[in-house]
Amino acid sequence: MSDHIRIVLVNTTHPGNIGGVARAMKNMGLSDLCLVSPKLFPHPDAEARSSGATDLLASARVVDSLDEAIADCELVFGTSARERHIPWPLVDPRELAAIAAPLKGKSRVAILFGREDRGLTNEELQRCHHHVHIPAVESFSSLNIAAAVQVITYELRMAEVAAEAGSKPQWGTDWDIELAEHRELELLFEHLERTLIGIDFLDPDNPRQLMPRLRRLLQRAVPDKVEVNVLRGILKAVERKVELQASKGGNDV
């Protein structure tokens, strides 16, 4: 939980967006929401778009001025889509997270989001230590405010998860089966080769690149033990079927 991070929305026009912001925050484990003079709040559209993050809406603090919203914060970031007259320290959301996530338990951090149509004013931006810019394409650079909050809180969450993580499992998820050992794979490839010869698909006198291609394909997938057993089961079923049919034929020759 990034409980040292405060999201501050300045003069938000559409209450639906406040709901979207609350949902995005709760998805990523944030809960400190502060609204500077919202146009309409509380409002049913905020409830609807929050999709269950009503606790964040209920605990949101509504204040009259930006200074009040950030009075107790040690570090303030302001979101900005445009170039400003005076250059200001500028970070992207990943850099913001790299700075802000480790401050948990030490400092309170505010991230400011401006009006839907014009963002933050120059005066508001000058209250910030850093500006943060989401690298959208230049010709269409204005994100929905809830989408912008989602991107930035996602980066905070990624930083938090990375800080907790030890080693990450193969394929990014816990697997239910152990991976096959080399010798099991070798037995599979031997079995596969015998079967392919048995069904006249592989000519041992002219094997070309068939087995290397099949090795490369299956090894790329890094099979687990059950998968290897399934494949060997298929090979056995092929052999059994071919032999059975042959013996039916063979008996009568």
CA distance 39 to 45: 13
Order the strands of the 90-91 sheet from edge to edge: 61-63, 32-36, 5-10, 109-113, 75-79, 130-132, 90-91
Closer to a second copy by Cβ: residue 71 or 135: 135
Is residue 24 within the footprint of a second copy (CB under 8 A)? yes
Near a second copy by CB under 8 A, which window of 62-70, 102-110, 181-189, 224-232? 224-232
Asked whether position 183 contacts a second copy by CB under 8 A, the answer is: no
Binding test (CB under 8 A) with a second copy, winner from 40, 103, 143, 179 = 143
Minimum distance of a second copy from residue 68's CB (angstroms)? 27
Which residues neighbour 243 within 8 Å (Cβ) at sequence distance 6 or greater?
none
Which residue's CB is nearer to a second copy, number 67 or number 203? Answer: 203
Judged by beta carbon, residue 45 or residue 63, the one nearer a second copy is 45
In angstroms, the CA 19 to CA 44 distance is: 9
Using DSSP, state whether 54 is helix, strand or coil. helix
Query: What is the CB-side half-sphere exposure of residue 3 using CA atoms within 13 A?
Result: 2
Footprint of a second copy on 55-74 (CB under 8 A): none
Position among 58, 62, 71, 222 found at the interface with a second copy (CB under 8 A): 222
- For a second copy, the binding residue among 8, 36, 111, 157 (CB under 8 A) is 157
Point out which residues pair with 33 in neighbouring strands: 7
| Residue 166 contacts a second copy per CB under 8 A | no
Residue 227 binds to a second copy (criterion: CB under 8 A): yes
What is the rounded CA–CA span in Å between residue 123 and residue 88?
Answer: 13
Among 62, 71, 136, 163, binds a second copy (CB under 8 A): 136
User: Among 5, 28, 75, 76, which residue sits at the site for a second copy (rule: CB under 8 A)?
Assistant: 28
Q: Which is nearer to a second copy, 15 or 69 (CB)?
A: 15
Please give the DSSP secondary-structure letter assigned to residue 119.
Answer: B
Query: Which residues touch 199 (CB under 8 Å, ≥6 apart)?
Result: 238, 242
Q: Are 134 and 79 in contact (CB under 8 A)?
A: yes
Binding mask 69-108 for a second copy (x = CB under 8 A): -----------------xxxxxxxxxx-------------
Question: What torsion do the CA atoms of 146, 148, 150, 154 make, to the nearest 10 degrees?
Answer: -170
Smallest separation (angstroms) from a second copy to the CB of 224? 8
Question: Nearest approach, Cβ of 95 to a second copy (angstroms)?
Answer: 7
Of the candidates 173, 183, 204, 206, which one interacts with a second copy according to CB under 8 A?
173
How many helices (H) and strands (E) in the chain?
Answer: 10, 7
Instruction: Classify burial at 191, counting beta carbons within 10 Å of its beta carbon; exposed 0-12, middle 13-18, buried 19 or more.
Output: middle
Q: Tell me if 126 contacts a second copy by CB under 8 A.
A: no
Task: Give the residue, chosen from 11, 12, 79, 150, that forms a contact with a second copy under the rule CB under 8 A.
Answer: 150
